[in-house]
Structure 1
Amino acid sequence: MWGDPGIGKTALLEHAIGAAGDFTVLSCRGTRLESGLAFAGIHALLWPVLDGVDTLPEPQRTALRSALGCDETPVDRFLVGGAVLALVCRLAEQRPVLVVADDAQWLDEATAQCLAFVSRRLRTVRAAVLLATYEDPACGTWDQLPAVEVRGLDDDSARLLAAATAPGLDEVSIRRTIRAAAGNPLALAELALTPPVPGEQIAVGPRLRRAFTARIEALATSTRALLLLAAAEDRGDRQVLQQAGVDAVAWDEALRSGLLGVQGDRVRFRHPLIRTVVYENAPASERKAAHRLLARVLSGRNAEDFGTRHLAAATDNADELVAWHLAAAADGADEDVAGLLEKAAGRAQARGGCATAARALGRAAELSPDPADAARRLARGARAAWEAGQVDLAREYLLRAEELAGEAAVGELSEGLRGLIEFAHGDQERAFRYLTGDMRVVSDQDTAVELGTMAVRAGWSAGRTGLQAEALRQLGGRADPLLFEPASGAVVRDDDLRLDSWRVTPPAPLCVAWGVERSVSEALGRQIAELRRTDSVTALAAVLAQTVTLDIAQGDWSRAAASAEEGMRLAEEIGADHLATQCRNCLGWLAAVRGDEQTVASLAERSREVSVPRGVRVLTAAATWNLGMSALFAGRPEEALEHLSRLTEPEHDASHPTFALLAAVDTVEAAVHAGQPDAAEPHANLVRDWAERTGAAWAVSAGHLTRALLTSEPEEEFRLALAVPGASARPFAHARTRLLFGEWLRRARRRTEARAQLGEAAATFQRLGATPLLERATSEQELTEQPRGAAHLLTSQELRVARLAREGLTNREIAAQLLISPRTVGHHLSNVFPKLGVVTRAELSHIDFDGSMRLTR
């Protein structure tokens, strides 16, 4: 549920809890202070059922205990999500389970992702999840969950609520209250007690603040101090507040005011806006005093003269909350507190709390007296923010660090982060400049190689062979030879492959071009298994995006689709636009070969929106290839050729040598069927040259296939294409060769041989789900059958041509649909007319094709 503050979401959640009957209820509430503490929400949620954690399998138990702070083992977010899911499922076997999370917009990122993971997998379990947040969840963590907007009350309902809240309110004040509240129930309830001043036009927000302020100021000083302490504590821990020395009189008045409530050991403001007003209206000195008091309580030190510096120096392993309270209480720069926050950030990052670490390091930088320390912490914070998917924050930290220490120093401190961000989100040529620049300043050689490798990839992504060559030159002999694209002169040997790290793994399309997809796929599979045991979401998304292309080439389309969906979801969650687009293009390729033209067009449009403005030609080329394949397999070769020719068109947004090579067979087939064989020659030469240079099985086979398509005596070339050792490892390409060979055999009236080739092709297309080519193979198989019944008058192909001509299609349109030449269409019609006894195309509309094959009038 989502809607404005005060709109009634909490009331609805409380009603659901009250109506839950014999359910096991697990609830938590997000708070501002804990929004930076990884898994704080999960801790609150599972507190009543912690005994059940020990019943989980060992890996899940260890991961969950680590997330809850009971173990120092690094957190695996995927295992934590699985552990929470398993625990809920076990509870649901005994009683239905209701999971409730209020103020979900303030849940820490780790908890939010965990709850989203669990929620999407409870469809067959006796469990329900209810979440309440301010923002529309359509574009955030909860985007895949059903959502309902909680809207304001209508005027009649608002009148009833205002009258019930303040029975003595006059009609004029009620109208003013309804108008000012705009249907917000909390605003109605509060404004009814302090009605708007006549004639004022103030938004609900300021009105609520004014109403709350009036009620707060009417309380005793000690009660206001209690409210401020509760607002600063922000976790609702009653024990901490009581240890701070709050007297019973203040407690009683706070509870009577209705602003504060107690449920067991938890203290809650009736609405988060009350907490905001209490905190923001308090003088800065009082806020700082409240945070100092809380720091002393949480650290177990209650001496009145215990100072901030003493605490920071004495608590080397202080709780993160203590560090945050000390930071909030700081009057200015304080290296001790900054150091304490930096240590807290390290512990948070070890638990998988990258967002928490980024926030802590940012605050530590603000408290750093030495600009060099501040720059270091900002650079580290930028790296943590980047890993957490907070790109804007990472950029902000980098800029602030550069103002303090300069670009070169920050490039070293952040390990070339600005180039990595630009590569993943921005302009590729700018990314190249950043990466090569930082490559020269970092001291660690492994980091330098990684940055150089990414620079090569930036040049490749931009379709700029000059940039790629420059980065390769700077890398010297340290470059993976798979990074050399078709326009270069390198040759790859199997023992040259370097696949130890995901950061230096060459782009998947180049691996496919070199014909080493199986080796690379196995290496990436091992990397995925390792990454799933960590919280490296960015790395996992990158590797998943790579494996999709390799799985497609090897014919494992089901796994490819699953990896593309997961990779795209992860990339979108962390804001990695280019990785998401790479996965989107792979899904577009699958849609093209499966005949889903609408999906191809939609995905291609979204891809171009990202890639064209940023100069990521590799993504534009992939989307353009998909459009070309889609048109080709739908029987529109001219349109297909128009798309595919752009891959070799200099300076076009889609011009890219690797994708021009991979799409060469499609381009040649489109040109042949469009009656433009001359346009096919450059693309046929491209794949043949690559085959001669590399000996890659797919390229050798494709070279024979393109010769077969362009020669009048193609049989030997077809057979050579099919016989290349290793060519069958790419089942789609191999089946396509059989289809084209079968079509030629059928036209040569060698029906028995044609049926054999077409049958093999059809079986593969059916397994893969390549619907357009399956239909084409099946149609060709039918043409090899002997005609039956009245249809003896015409051959199968003549019958097809006649039916299409009856519908008013031109010879060229019929040729495009049947993948034959317009001249062949004319030849068939010249045979059809005398057989049917007609002399014009118009008369074909009166032929009974389904019966006697005679004129019906």
Structure 2
Amino acid sequence: MELFGRDAETATLHRLIARAADGAGSGLVLWGEPGIGKTALLDHAVEAAAGCTVLRCRGTRMEAGLAFAALHELLWPVIDRLDALPGPQAAALRGALGLSRDAANRFLIGAAVLSMVSELARERPVLVVVDDAQWIDEATAHCLGFLARRVGGDPVLVLLTGHSDPASGPWEGLPALEVGGLTDDDARALVATAVPGARQALIDDVTREAGGNPLALHELPTLDRAPDADTPLPLLGDLVPIGPRLRQAFRARVAALDPPVRALLLLAAAEDRGDRLVVQRAGAGHGVDPSTWDDAVRSGLLRTSGSRVEFRHPLIPAAIYDGAAFGERQAAHRALAASLPTDAVEERAWHLAAAADTADEDVAALLELAAEKSLRCGAGPTAVRTLRRAAELSPAPADGARRLAAAARAAWDAGQAETAGQLLDEAERLGDEAAVARAGGGLRGILEFTTGLPERAHHYLVRDMRVAPSSRCLVQLGSVAVRAAWSAGRTDLQQEALQRLLAADTGDDPSLTEQLPALRIWWACYDETGALTPIAPDGTGDLIGRLVTAAWELLPPAPLAQAWGIESLLHDVLRVQAAALRRRHELAALAVVLSQTAVLDLATGRWGAAETAGTDGLALAEEVGADHVATQCRGTLGNLAAGRGDEPAVDEHTTRALQVSVPQGVRALTGSAYWPRGRAALFAGRPQEALGHLVPLTEPGHDAAHPTFALLAAVDTAEAAMQVGHLDLAESRLAAVTAWAQRSGAPWARSAVHRLHALIRGGPAAESSYRAALDVAGAENHPFEYARTRLLYGEWLRRARRRADARHQLAAAAEVFARLGAEPLRRRSLREQDLTDGPAARRGPGPSAGLTAQELRVARLAADDLTNREIAAQLLISPRTVAHHLANVYPKLGIASRADLSRIDLLGDLRIRVDAHGG
């Protein structure tokens, strides 16, 4: 078929086909208004891709609500390749295609399609063609988006067409090409070719009316007039868009047909799946016989092939359906519903729903069954639409409220937090509060916990525990209630919720019976006054191992697990959780798990993984509207930036976190923002500023006051306090860590006790304390903190003039800091090593060659913009001594002021020497 005016588009397609043949796969979305020529471009691509394996499908309105319907059409020609897939992928794909009863695991299905297409591409290039992607069912759309983004290394080209810009939705991120209208010259050439012998007046009329739309240019000359006629085209006014013009023209053509043919066309338009047998059975009561089919085909609007029926263009069934009277559409849908087998629950439900003009409980119940099936298939948004329609058709308000609440829960699980909130509001206006809470599984409190006020979330969650639909739901709501109180820093509410939870009747569920003791152990940390309770933590690690399959709500928040020293155990559980949630496409819960994983990765020295999990969790949380989860991700990314010395990033992340956490009273999140600010200042050598951020964590009534974060930040607070001479504050933080170490046995806490003893008490016993800190079993599992201990120990050894021992500890610390990217402490370790070499150490020819070791250290700190007081705090000397050293440095370096230091390389010869030591 000849294409007019499409040189640029066809050149793009040919280039992509050639690149795919060379192994550089890609995807492209062609988009534009109906009839603009997108399908013609796909046909051209298929013709141009000679020698390729072509997989093709088309979206339809009726099948848009049927999970994996389009995928079934796409893969049916190569269904025999299923057996070559890995077992789990093959099983999941069989379930999606209706070939087995296996669960439809969305992640595995996407992986299976990618594996199948990649395997086909080993034989010859593959062209995947998807027309009318705007009507593709959601499950297939996500699967094809997964495919299109991952074929870069395979000879595969994925082409899709749609009506709107794919800047968002399942095709987000794919290259897109807008297909516009033809120029007047190309339009005239197309009409002249499509209608041989047409007079110039007709060609000009059609060109003017069609607005460059190729479908209009094809259709308008042949509607209601002869091609050689001189009368104007019988179209609507000039201001009417081309879509309505064409629809009106098609309706006029249909109106001229016999009633049985019109009935057949309406049935085919309403069926929308292209199943000729269903349409034929439905038409039996409308006078449709074989001759009717012949007349329909002769009309040029419909064509058949075996058991399939399709319209010449997707605009035609839309025009036929929209142009029919409501009573005619009702009759068509009822006939189609009656012609379907009883196990076609979803199709029957939607046909009957389309036919309903009043409330109908039977249809609503059928839609509810269809929604349950969609949920089992992982098609949450489809279930939401189905349940919402079921609510509309519910005669009893209570049933409507119950179905809206179930729709809200499905929307939440699918990552649609805003939609979930709107549906829940509708349900609560319509029905009883307790019934709605039961149907939604206590969703109000969960929504409030992720986006609102934690104390209010606690209220809703405790209230809804009484009407939880199952023991498992009851325990989950109770766990989130405890977590909400913890987030608010309210130990009194935490204990109240915990007592309710522990008193709950778990029925005969053995897994819950095992889980409750674990919940009691890690949540019963504080009494109502905030003091530590004497409950022993024996068995915490064993208990958490039993929660691998438990919902995220039953797991402790990551900072609390960090305090208990069970990071690795919880990390393993969360890794399993994340994989399962990805498979089920439960985006909201996945965002929570990723945010928790990032905290644990950071604590255990997996900083690259922490950045990935935190960034992914942040993007996902923002996408689903989980404000508090996004804020926790920002707190973790801020803490990571603090360790790396990226203070602009610390400021950005913590400022945005506080904008959410402070107004909503989420003290855990506020504390998680204050902590990295304090650490950033401490690592940069500004201990007084650090205390300004760290001390509020323990101040009653402060927005950042939170016992867990006060405990985790105790070591940083004590170190900053010692640098500015606040011995009492340092001693109080040592006491807090000591009490927690005795209670929990956490390796980090036991190691920190020894480290702080050495730092605070000093003297000859300091060395044994430093060694004890390094020797604590499990302390090395926190490499950043372990290296900080070695750094402090190395500094102590240097001051004791034990240079060889100091060099060993400092080099080891520098190596860890370099690996992690902890630049401020790496530089501090390098400076200490330089001092360890002593003033007689051989220097290179650099600008610092004439400086003593102490002068060099002072100069480097001054070059980093530290004040004399801050330098003195780091070097344990007086500010007057700092000024004395700087007065010697300036003439030696040939400079006049402190500002000139930043232009001098004071680290070059040091780096060479440290590398020689293995640092």
Q: Matches of residues 482-561 of structure 1 in structure 2 within 5 Å?
A: 482-484=522-524, 487-490=530-533, 491-495=535-539, 497=543, 500=547, 501-502=550-551, 503-525=553-575, 527=577, 538-561=588-611
- For the pair 1:346 / 2:372, whether they are aligned, the reply is yes
- Contact conserved, 1:338 with 1:367, CA < 8 A, in 2? yes
Match among 398, 416, 435 for residue 390 of structure 1? 416
SS in 2 for 1:94: coil
SS in 2 for 1:101: strand
- For the pair 1:146 / 2:146, whether they are aligned, the reply is no
Give 1:489's aligned amino acid.
L
- For the pair 1:240 / 2:240, whether they are aligned, the reply is no
SS in 2 for 1:736: helix
Give 1:29's aligned amino acid.
R
- For the pair 1:722 / 2:765, whether they are aligned, the reply is no
Unmatched runs of 5 consecutive residues or more in structure 1 = 300-314, 852-857
Partner of 1:590: 640
Separation in 1, partners of 2:144, 2:111: 10
- Contact conserved, 2:337 with 2:352, CA < 8 A, in 1? yes
- CA 1:507/1:843 → structure 2, altered by over 3 Å: closer, same or farther? closer
Partner of 1:295: 337
Post-superposition shift, 1:706?
A: 4.2
Separation in 2, partners of 1:804, 1:488: 41
Give 1:30's aligned amino acid.
G
Separation in 2, partners of 1:542, 1:845: 43
Partner of 1:666: 716
Post-superposition shift, 1:115?
A: 1.9
Separation in 2, partners of 1:850, 1:591: 23
Partner of 1:309: none
- 50-59 vs 193-202, which deviates more? 193-202
- CA 1:454/1:287 → structure 2, altered by over 3 Å: closer, same or farther? same
Partner of 2:77: 48
- 724-733 vs 496-505, which deviates more? 496-505
Match among 320, 339, 355 for residue 278 of structure 1? 320
- Contact conserved, 1:323 with 1:341, CA < 8 A, in 2? yes
Partner of 1:702: 752
1:780-801 CA-partner distances (Å, limit 9, x unpaired)? 3344332325655322442354
- Contact conserved, 2:415 with 2:624, CA < 8 A, in 1? yes
Give 1:288's aligned amino acid.
Q
1:499-541 CA-partner distances (Å, limit 9, x unpaired)? 5323311111111112222333344455556667766555555
Partner of 1:125: 154
- For the pair 1:826 / 2:870, whether they are aligned, the reply is no
In the superposition, the TM-score normalised over structure 2's length comes to 0.79
Give 1:43's aligned amino acid.
H
- CA 1:351/1:255 → structure 2, altered by over 3 Å: closer, same or farther? same
1:620-659 CA-partner distances (Å, limit 9, x unpaired)? 4334434444454455656655544554566555443322
Post-superposition shift, 1:92?
A: 0.8
Match among 114, 118, 132 for residue 89 of structure 1? 118
Separation in 2, partners of 1:101, 1:819: 70
Separation in 1, partners of 2:695, 2:217: 65
Separation in 2, partners of 1:574, 1:152: 34
- Contact conserved, 1:333 with 1:368, CA < 8 A, in 2? yes
Give 1:520's aligned amino acid.
L
Separation in 1, partners of 2:675, 2:699: 13
Post-superposition shift, 1:98?
A: 1.5
Post-superposition shift, 1:112?
A: 2.0
Post-superposition shift, 1:458?
A: 1.2
Separation in 1, partners of 2:898, 2:82: 78
1:738-780 CA-partner distances (Å, limit 9, x unpaired)? 1233234335544222211112212323443434433432343
Separation in 1, partners of 2:366, 2:895: 95
Post-superposition shift, 1:290?
A: 1.1
Post-superposition shift, 1:406?
A: 0.4
Give 2:278's aligned amino acid.
V
SS in 2 for 1:480: helix
Partner of 2:521: 481
- CA 1:480/1:267 → structure 2, altered by over 3 Å: closer, same or farther? farther
Partner of 2:269: 231
Separation in 2, partners of 1:666, 1:167: 88
Separation in 2, partners of 1:263, 1:815: 88
1:403-455 CA-partner distances (Å, limit 9, x unpaired)? 44300122223321222222233332332221111012336444322211111
Separation in 1, partners of 2:864, 2:416: 57
- CA 1:684/1:3 → structure 2, altered by over 3 Å: closer, same or farther? farther
CA RMSD of aligned residues (A): 4.2
Separation in 2, partners of 1:42, 1:550: 39
Separation in 1, partners of 2:652, 2:422: 33
- For the pair 1:454 / 2:461, whether they are aligned, the reply is no
1:146-205 CA-partner distances (Å, limit 9, x unpaired)? 322516348667866897689745899689758xx5x76667777898979898645566
- Contact conserved, 2:191 with 2:218, CA < 8 A, in 1? no
SS in 1 for 2:55: strand
Separation in 2, partners of 1:533, 1:24: 29
SS in 1 for 2:73: helix
Give 2:387's aligned amino acid.
L
In the superposition, the TM-score normalised over structure 1's length comes to 0.84
- CA 1:815/1:173 → structure 2, altered by over 3 Å: closer, same or farther? farther
Separation in 2, partners of 1:604, 1:269: 57
Separation in 2, partners of 1:764, 1:249: 83
Aligned-pair identity in percent equals: 55
Partner of 1:308: none
- Contact conserved, 2:654 with 2:674, CA < 8 A, in 1? yes
- For the pair 1:105 / 2:129, whether they are aligned, the reply is no
Post-superposition shift, 1:286?
A: 0.8
Q: Matches of residues 676-695 of structure 1 in structure 2 within 5 Å?
A: 686-691=736-741, 693-695=743-745
Give 1:832's aligned amino acid.
V
1:332-368 CA-partner distances (Å, limit 9, x unpaired)? 3333333333333333333333333333333333333
Q: Matches of residues 645-660 of structure 1 in structure 2 within 5 Å?
A: 645=695, 647-648=697-698, 653-660=703-710
Post-superposition shift, 1:287?
A: 0.8
Partner of 1:794: 851
Post-superposition shift, 1:382?
A: 3.1
Post-superposition shift, 1:206?
A: 5.2
1:368-411 CA-partner distances (Å, limit 9, x unpaired)? 34444444433333333332233344334434443443001222
- Contact conserved, 1:611 with 1:617, CA < 8 A, in 2? yes
Partner of 2:496: 470
Give 2:843's aligned amino acid.
R
Q: Matches of residues 724-739 of structure 1 in structure 2 within 5 Å?
A: 724-739=776-791
- Contact conserved, 1:787 with 1:796, CA < 8 A, in 2? no
- CA 1:209/1:686 → structure 2, altered by over 3 Å: closer, same or farther? farther
- Contact conserved, 1:158 with 1:188, CA < 8 A, in 2? no
Separation in 2, partners of 1:593, 1:841: 27
Separation in 2, partners of 1:198, 1:296: 39
Give 1:61's aligned amino acid.
A
Partner of 1:310: none
- Contact conserved, 1:462 with 1:618, CA < 8 A, in 2? yes
- Contact conserved, 1:140 with 1:573, CA < 8 A, in 2? no
Post-superposition shift, 1:43?
A: 0.9
Partner of 1:778: 830
- Contact conserved, 2:489 with 2:667, CA < 8 A, in 1? yes
Query: What number of residue pairs does the alignment pair up?
Result: 831
Separation in 2, partners of 1:332, 1:846: 81
